[in-house]
Structure 1
Amino acid sequence: MSRKLVKCISILTLAFSTYCNADVKLPRLISDNMVLQRDTEISLWGWAEPNEKVTVHFDGQLVGSVQSDAKRWSIKLKPQPAGTKHLIQITANNTITINNVAFGEVWLASGQSNMVLPMERVKERYPRDIAEAHYPDIRHFTVPTVYNFKSAQADYPIVQWQELSPESVMKFSATAFFFARDLYETYQVPIGVINASVGGSPVEAWMSEEALIGFPKPHAEAKLFQNDSHIKAIQDADKARSDNWYTDINNRDAGLAEKWYKPEFDDKNWQPFTLPGFWEDQKVAPMNGVVWFRKTIDVPKSMAGKRAKLMMGAIVDADTIYINGIEVGNTTYQYPPRRYTVPKGVLVAGKNVIAIRVINNRGKGGFVADKPYWLGKPNAHINLTGIWQFKVSVLADELPNQNFIQYKPTGLFNAMIAPALDYKIKGVIWYQGESNTGNPFNYQALFSNMIKDWRNHFNQQSLPFLYVQLANFMETSNHPKPSNWAELREQQRLTLNLPNTAMAAIIDSGEWNDIHPLNKYAPGHRLALAAQNIAYHNKKTVYSGPQITTIEEKHGALFLDFTHTGGGLVAKDGDLQGFAIAAKDGKFVWAKAKIIGQQIKVWHNSVSAPVKVRYAWADNPANANLYNKEGLPASPFQANLTPTQ
């Protein structure tokens, strides 16, 4: 036999052997430190070559063997009580050992940026919670942002379960952390959180194609984005527009060319600007482009040469900050808090110059009010609010909006929810809605369909689904007027018609100037209260603020009945406020309101025949103060005398 023929036979033999004895593989979810749902039969699954024998041992005991079917295998593990430090071995051509397995409660956390927002972003508010986050029995699995419009994905990219510690908690969703910690401290069982959430995502992105069939516009859009060339054309056009815009302003920026950030630069002819504030509000013409700001400060000898914290609030849209000509911080978009560290050796005793280059690509540009602006330490710092000098360097056209491909219908469901569908879970926590406020009126239909669709796909028809209502946001208003944020809150409230759902109202926990409020304890804690009642069947737990049920007219006033009154209705901090009524003409006026037992009477002398009532109906309802005695706020609502309420 020739050497060439022997070599060919050897290659073919090796290929056949590899095909017949390929290594078994597991999904990312089934890995070290994972939490499996207790007290229920669960599936372990993975991939191997067709007809390959796969054997599973649990804590040294044989669970069983199975042959893979069309490369996929699955085997059942009987219900296990809560516990930790279990070992699972899976053997085929190879052996995989899964260490430190826990059985407890598995929760899927999803939604948009307020569910994404990690503890690192709120570290100044919760330093003690972070320092004391020694909870090895709380584990989290954070899914990276991925999308697919063509089909449901079988697995996630590289990611792993992590035990909760003061170090790992920094990447843990803040809302999910407070939720998981509350449940752990209540039930003392391991808690696993699968965090599959994406900032800015609308509800349509989290729906399967089947769930969108009754919604022609998003369904058609989902079909359109199954075309790779369509996606590439959009991405290429977006990139070209963005690159051209930024290249143009950078090339025309005299501040960069002339080094306006240098301390020796002469800014005596610059104009004054009061920080914080937006330049449009300070009689500077509305504009997009580049504006530079400078301020000279006195630094004491005690701070000279030392590291320092620079807190520059929030800036719209992007910034680069220099101290004494040295760059100390850069952020490329408006939402993150500007928390920069000034390195050793930058600050000098006496005069120091801070220069800020701000790029605004659309809307109002400037510095957000009611945020921290200082240099030094929290308890010993130099205040940076007040008069600065500014100069416009570049005027530019508005940068067109980017098409965020990951926000398109079905993409996130296919890539971030589908890989978990065989993983038994206790329930879902959801924090989303801000991205649907542009068109809130069909949100209930979309959201309800999504919940039912997830229950079908998880094959858990009674799956608890707990969600957060939109927080108060934007400027307060003294007059009843239309509000898309109020409309979407109402759509969220109406979704409670689905069984095994609960809503955490946080109308008292937002910030007027930040779509990402720092108070993440309130939504996490209130979701945990809802879980106790809905998922753990502790019916004594008061888990919601008052919810409107019925409305009746008597002698020119409306009488409202509520559920979830707990120990009773209360008006927090003064007289009951936040109610508006209207007659058939639909013109709402602020009304008087009074608690009478378990009812609320609402009236106004100018409205003799009221038929409609609203509560906390505004983007940011400043005076909404209806609570139950347990301290949970009432949900905003609108109601009519007709059955349409």
Structure 2
Amino acid sequence: MNKYWFYKVGLVVVFLCFALLGEAKVKLPTLVSDGMVLQRGEPVNIWGTADPDETVSITFQKKKYKTVADAQGNWKVILPALKAGGPYTMIINDIELKDILVGDVWVCSGQSNMELPVSRVTDRFRDEISADSDYPIVRYIKTPLLYNFHAPQTDIPGIFWKAMTPENVMSFSALVYFFTKDYFQKTKVPVGIINSSVGGSPVEAWISEEGLKPFPYYLNEKRIYESDDLVESMKKEESKKSRAWNVALYQGDKGMHETIPWYAAGYDDSDWTPTDLFASGWATNGLNTINGSHWFRKDFQVSGQQAGEKATLRLGCIVDADSVYVNGTFVGTVSYQYPPRIYTIPAGLLKVGKNTITIRLFSYGGFPHFVKEKPYKILFGKGQPEKGESEISLEGDWKYRLGAPMPAAPGQTAFHYKPVGLYNAMIAPLLNYTVSGVIWYQGESNVSRRNEYKDLLTAMIADWRQHWNRPDMPFYVIELADFLSPEDKGGRAAWAEFRKVQAEVANTNKNVTLIKNGDLGEWNDIHPLDKKTLGQRVSQAVFQQRVK
């Protein structure tokens, strides 16, 4: 019995030893991983965690480096300046990192025009993207949307480096795609991009608490949301209100509850009101806008050659959201205003002669409308308007009927837009990574507060430089593109004034370069498609500064 007892105790000791050995393994941040790009020409940080006082050994390019984890288990090794090249392998204790390149690394940040993916610019650049998107020497990380009001975070979970290949490119930022291609052609060195951007985000969300000290209003706003209980309760309450609004919309929408629903192929719409998509009368009661659901139907003729074919339905852009049916069959939906409506009509759905398209438009709280000077048509073949393929225009007369008039939808608090939150979660974890500099495309969300933008952006630039410990780190600030209808003189003037503020920031801060972009806008799209010219301009500016 005693022998058996000693045997069990011995097994426990062995298991504890193995457990302790397992816990002693080095842990790396997600940025330090397979496929990463290390900055050339500058000392490079490699860091992570381990048990306190554990020895960490790194082997890279046939050289060995050692350090010891501190009392909190943190460690860092600084590699000497490296020459461009690769791929290489790095060994960190028992971890092997593969396919490492050395080149130029850039942080790209801002809002939706920095996020806008390649898939959204295929109308204009489809052929180029199809033929020229295999650049495995370009690596890309897109950070997920995260925010934190408590403290700067040390890592970003779930990210990894992707090579620019035809399989991956559609999710890359369109601006990054064109910038890196052009930059690689100029330098022939690998390029790494860390894209940490969030659509609609204001500049104050990207500044640290320390950096916002001169702006007490924003610090006080941040303090409101430091309570996790408050944030969670607000989310639950707002979610309940939103569900109630949507239930009321559905219950009150006659088009969904009549014996024959309004989207059905055989529905009789002869008593509906004729209208043009771009008319405004249907959107108001004569004075105020009508939120809720609005229905539109249009008959169109299909030839024998077109019948049965797969086709592409283009419905421009719609404010705010829509669900679309063809011959009673649901073909697609978009939940907010900005994306282009590109829906597939499956083969066999279209028939010879009369066909019907039905749009159920949702308005949440603004002015519902169809955006002018966008494609509204059905395309056969590859669905490329510029190819002159067979098409059916959907402009002109439609029939209209109000579905469910509603009060404005309850608002949702965008917690990730609040001060400091994005900095703590999406910038702070990057600060150990050695980079060339920052490309910044943001401002649309601050136009209405343009009087304070110079000070805020200047503070952000100083803040990031301080935390990266690089006082002269290059910043490339992209000018806002032209936007808004020529009739909206006040709005256009505000955007023009904002561009002047951006120029002032570049003129009054060392090593800040303004990238011209005002001439590349589209009056009816806050996300202009020409990211190619812009990407080439950024590339040229960066290249010129490097060769000085």
1:53 aligns with 2:63: no
Where 1:394 maps in the other structure, the secondary structure is strand
Q: TM-score, normalised by structure 1?
A: 0.79
8 Å CA contact 1:503, 1:530 repeated in 2: no
Offset, 1:522: 2.8
Larger strand proportion, structure 1 or 2? Answer: 1
Instruction: Determine which of 518, 521, 525 is the counterpart of 2:532.
Output: 521
What is the distance in 1 between the residues matched to 2:492 and 2:262?
45
Offset, 1:278: 4.3
Partner of 1:349: 352
Offset, 1:437: 1.4
What is the distance in 1 between the residues matched to 2:266 and 2:52?
73
What is the distance in 2 between the residues matched to 1:260 and 1:13?
72
What is the distance in 1 between the residues matched to 2:281 and 2:19?
67
Letter in 2 for 1:343: P
8 Å CA contact 2:137, 2:164 repeated in 1: yes
What is the distance in 2 between the residues matched to 1:40 and 1:422?
13
Partner of 1:110: 109
Alpha-carbon spacing, 1:301–1:38, altered in 2? closer, same or farther (3 Å): same
1:120 aligns with 2:119: yes
Give the total of aligned pairs: 533
Letter in 2 for 1:57: T
Q: Deviations over 1:424-474 (max 9, x none)?
A: 000110100000112111001010000010001111111100011111111
Partner of 1:68: 69
Alpha-carbon spacing, 1:4–1:510, altered in 2? closer, same or farther (3 Å): farther
Alpha-carbon spacing, 1:279–1:338, altered in 2? closer, same or farther (3 Å): farther
What is the distance in 1 between the residues matched to 2:491 and 2:290?
29
The CA RMSD over aligned residues, in Å, is: 2.0
What is the distance in 2 between the residues matched to 1:383 and 1:482?
31
8 Å CA contact 1:212, 1:218 repeated in 2: yes
Deviates more, 1:479-488 or 1:388-397: 479-488
What is the distance in 1 between the residues matched to 2:257 and 2:13?
65
Letter in 2 for 1:500: N
1:289 aligns with 2:299: no
Higher RCO (Cα < 8 Å, 6 or more apart): 2
What is the distance in 2 between the residues matched to 1:208 and 1:301?
63
Mapping for residues 520-539 of structure 1, pairs under 5 Å = 520-534=531-545, 536-538=546-548
Letter in 2 for 1:65: K
What is the distance in 1 between the residues matched to 2:509 and 2:293?
50
What is the distance in 1 between the residues matched to 2:305 and 2:492?
54
Deviates more, 1:507-516 or 1:259-268: 507-516
What is the distance in 2 between the residues matched to 1:192 and 1:480?
40
Mapping for residues 188-203 of structure 1, pairs under 5 Å = 188-203=188-203
Alpha-carbon spacing, 1:289–1:162, altered in 2? closer, same or farther (3 Å): same
Alpha-carbon spacing, 1:481–1:116, altered in 2? closer, same or farther (3 Å): closer
Deviates more, 1:224-233 or 1:444-453: 224-233
Letter in 1 for 2:225: F
Partner of 2:424: 414
Mapping for residues 488-503 of structure 1, pairs under 5 Å = 488-496=498-506, 497-503=508-514
Letter in 1 for 2:378: L
The unaligned stretches of length 5 or more in structure 2 are: none
Q: Deviations over 1:511-557 (max 9, x none)?
A: 111111111123222222221233x144xxxxxxxxxxxxxxxxxxx
Letter in 1 for 2:320: D
Instruction: Determine which of 326, 329, 334 is the counterpart of 2:332.
Output: 329
What is the distance in 2 between the residues matched to 1:310 and 1:125?
17
8 Å CA contact 1:321, 1:354 repeated in 2: yes
Alpha-carbon spacing, 1:479–1:57, altered in 2? closer, same or farther (3 Å): closer
Partner of 2:100: 101
Partner of 1:220: 220
What is the distance in 2 between the residues matched to 1:362 and 1:272?
24
Q: Deviations over 1:3-51 (max 9, x none)?
A: 6886577446534542354222211111111111011110111121222
Partner of 1:381: 391
What is the distance in 2 between the residues matched to 1:4 and 1:394?
77
1:508 aligns with 2:519: yes
Q: Deviations over 1:603-623 (max 9, x none)?
A: xxxxxxxxxxxxxxxxxxxxx
8 Å CA contact 1:117, 1:174 repeated in 2: yes
What is the distance in 2 between the residues matched to 1:54 and 1:279?
71
Instruction: Determine which of 276, 285, 308 is the counterpart of 1:274.
Output: 276
Alpha-carbon spacing, 1:15–1:358, altered in 2? closer, same or farther (3 Å): farther
Letter in 2 for 1:72: N
Partner of 2:129: 130
Q: Deviations over 1:126-146 (max 9, x none)?
A: 113312111111111111111
Q: Deviations over 1:335-370 (max 9, x none)?
A: 111011111221111111111111101111121111
Offset, 1:282: 8.3
What is the distance in 1 between the residues matched to 2:205 and 2:323?
33
8 Å CA contact 2:245, 2:410 repeated in 1: no
Partner of 2:265: 263
What is the distance in 2 between the residues matched to 1:129 and 1:481?
35
Alpha-carbon spacing, 1:508–1:533, altered in 2? closer, same or farther (3 Å): same
Where 2:520 maps in the other structure, the secondary structure is coil
Offset, 1:62: 3.8
Offset, 1:111: 0.1
Where 2:223 maps in the other structure, the secondary structure is helix
8 Å CA contact 1:46, 1:73 repeated in 2: yes
Q: Deviations over 1:221-279 (max 9, x none)?
A: 12222210121122122212211111110111111112111010000000012124545
Q: Deviations over 1:162-209 (max 9, x none)?
A: 111122111111112212122111111111111000000000110000
1:79 aligns with 2:89: no
Offset, 1:212: 0.6
Partner of 2:233: 233
Partner of 1:370: 373
Where 2:234 maps in the other structure, the secondary structure is helix
Offset, 1:490: 2.1
Aligned sequence identity (%): 39
Partner of 1:441: 451
Larger helix proportion, structure 1 or 2? Answer: 2
Letter in 1 for 2:417: Y
Letter in 1 for 2:83: P
Alpha-carbon spacing, 1:393–1:21, altered in 2? closer, same or farther (3 Å): closer
What is the distance in 2 between the residues matched to 1:4 and 1:150?
50
1:485 aligns with 2:495: yes
Where 2:221 maps in the other structure, the secondary structure is helix
Letter in 1 for 2:236: D
The unaligned stretches of length 5 or more in structure 1 are: 539-645
8 Å CA contact 2:484, 2:492 repeated in 1: no
Where 2:82 maps in the other structure, the secondary structure is coil
Where 1:306 maps in the other structure, the secondary structure is coil
Letter in 2 for 1:35: V
8 Å CA contact 1:323, 1:355 repeated in 2: yes
Offset, 1:478: 9.0
What is the distance in 2 between the residues matched to 1:152 and 1:10?
42
What is the distance in 1 between the residues matched to 2:290 and 2:283?
12
What is the distance in 2 between the residues matched to 1:505 and 1:306?
44
What is the distance in 2 between the residues matched to 1:434 and 1:366?
21
8 Å CA contact 2:37, 2:191 repeated in 1: yes
Offset, 1:482: 8.4
What is the distance in 2 between the residues matched to 1:434 and 1:343?
38
